[in-house]
Amino acid sequence: MAEPFLLGVLGGMGPLAAVDFQYQLLRAVNSASDQQQIPMVVWNVPQIPDRQKALAGQGPSPLPQLIDGIARLNRVGASHIVIACNTAHHWFEALQAASRAPLLHIADAAAEAAAALAPASVGLIATQGTLDAGWFQRRFAQRGIETLLPTAAEIADYFVPGCYAVKRGDIAAGGALLARQAQGLLDRGAERLVLACTEVPLALRAISWQPPSAAIDPAEAMAAVCARLWQQQQSAI
């Protein structure tokens, strides 16, 4: 008999992003009743060291707290675990090694969503750590999709202050800055945008900013993968 489906969500990075991901899960299932929604348990504890600062060598590693969150999700019986933070996937392999339940990688979900749209190029909005890691770029290249990256000036002037504005609750100000980052990538020829930082899509929605073609939200793509896994298990019962 298959293990009961229970999605574990490792959140807190930031806490608003984890709440937004739960909303994406609800939308992805498109259920007719409460009982058809995905059963989940969420570890949304924000006392985790800053991921961007850790990767820049300016702060402690978040790995011990991330492993603690993974352990807690395993103890309550999670059958699958997702990380509601793109940058935290830097520690994906270490977290998978510490977990009984399989972890789902957000870049795999984003690449699947991008392949379905088949753009020639995408503009990738993400932290410097995520850009340097190359998870998204490699997966897009395997599907014949070129990735355009932000310039160093855009990251310093728009992305970083925009991201931290959202984290401190000034979502409109953050959205205005992040929209300038997005527009820069579009101006350089990106056919689609990939919003690979969980603060970005919610900030752009807050100011009602939309690109000419729908952006790819990796969190939304991950929610779709989770909904498919849940529905597949339900149909097999």
Is 163 assigned a catalytic role? no
Is 226 assigned a catalytic role? no
Catalytic residue, chosen from 195, 197, 203, 227, is 197
Residue 40 has φ and ψ, to the nearest 5°, of -145, 160
Q: How far apart are CA 81 and CA 236, in angstroms?
A: 21
Contact 158, 180 (CB under 8 A): yes
Catalytic residue, chosen from 25, 38, 84, 85, is 85
Residue type (1 letter), 50 = D
Contact 139, 108 (CB under 8 A): yes
Cite the active site residues: 85, 197
